[in-house]
């Protein structure tokens, strides 16, 4: 492993940029909103705070890095977002199961976008299945930042589609800095697509 600290700040910044882009681009495709607003947490925010009643998380990993992405949400927001896919008389008519499935698939697509972006750099990553959990369990998460032997850090942000906001977080671990050197100068192409959700 390469523990040379010279590229570490740039690697962290690029990983944050990449994950934020993946989360916003997937939400834009799967809502009725043309514009998605990305926001930062207030200065008073501290990791470990419960951000919503529910969360879905997914792991994207490979030899050079691991990224655990979480979407924190309340059911009323998930129902409103899921209405586009499932339709119906109103958002409140969307069942809890379908709302959770919507958020699981959203996380699955974010992970897929991360994998695709890394493929541009000839870096292969895999993903886990998305998992649902109560938002309360966030208080047990370990967000302590470390630089060695494995560099690990976290990032938190919000995404707003119209009147509806979800919180996002990512725990990132850099396992092999040398393999990620090409990431520092990687320019993310903001290309539009019309990928649709596929519920099994």
Looking at the DSSP bridge assignments, the partners of residue 67 are 60, 172
169 inside domain = yes
pLDDT tens-digit readout, 179-188: 998 898 899 8
CATH of the domain at 170: 3.40.1550.10
d(CA 151, CA 59): 17
Determine, yes or no, domain membership for 196.
no
In a domain, 26, yes or no: yes
Tell me, yes or no, whether 191 lies in a domain: no
The total number of structural domains that make up the chain: 1
Q: What's the pTM?
A: 0.90
End-to-end, the C-alpha distance of the chain in Å comes to 40
Residues 6+ apart with CB under 8 A from 37: 159, 160
Phi and psi at residue 158, to the nearest 5°:
-125, 155
Within a domain: residue 174?
A: yes
Read off the pLDDT of each residue in 161-187 and give the average, rounded to a whole number: 92
CA distances from 70 to 60, 73, 101, 181 (A): 11, 10, 14, 26
Given a cut of 90, whether residue 7 has pLDDT beyond it is: no
The DSSP 8-state label assigned to residue 108 in this structure reads H
* 157 belongs to a structural domain: yes
> Which structural domain, as residue segments, surrounds residue 122?
8-37+48-183
Residue 116 within a domain: yes
Beta strands (DSSP E) in the chain are 36-40, 54-61, 65-73, 126-127, 131-134, 151-161, 164-174
Contacts of 185 (CB under 8 A, 6+ apart): none
pLDDT tens digits, residue range 86-132?
778 889 889 999 999 999 999 999 999 999 999 999 999 999 999 99
The answer, yes or no, to whether residue 200 has pLDDT greater than 60, is: no
CB of 134 within 8 A of CB of 57?
no
In a domain, 133, yes or no: yes
* 54-99 pLDDT tens trace: 999 999 999 999 999 999 999 999 999 988 777 788 898 899 999 9
What is the average pLDDT value for the chain, to the nearest integer? 88
């Amino acid at each position: 492993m390469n523990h040379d600290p010279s590229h570490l700040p740039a690697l962290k910044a690029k990983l944050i940029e990449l994950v934020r882009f993946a989360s916003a681009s997937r939400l834009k495709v799967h809502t009725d909103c043309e514009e998605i607003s990305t926001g930062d947490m207030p200065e008073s925010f501290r990791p470990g705070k419960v951000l919503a009643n529910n969360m879905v998380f997914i792991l994207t990993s490979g030899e050079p890095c691991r990224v655990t992405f979480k979407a924190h949400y309340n059911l009323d927001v998930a129902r409103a977002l899921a209405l586009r896919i499932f339709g119906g008389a109103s958002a409140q008519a969307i069942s809890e199961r379908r709302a959770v499935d919507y958020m699981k698939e959203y996380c699955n697509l974010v992970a897929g976008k991360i994998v695709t972006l890394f493929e541009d750099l000839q870096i292969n990553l895999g993903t886990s299945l998305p998992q649902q959990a109560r938002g309360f369990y966030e208080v047990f998460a370990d967000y302590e930042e470390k630089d060695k032997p494995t560099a690990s850090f976290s990032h938190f942000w919000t995404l707003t589609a119209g009147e509806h906001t979800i919180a996002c977080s990512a725990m990132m671990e850099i396992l092999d800095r040398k393999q990620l050197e090409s990431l520092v100068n990687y320019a993310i192409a903001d290309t539009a697509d019309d990928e649709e959700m596929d519920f099994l």
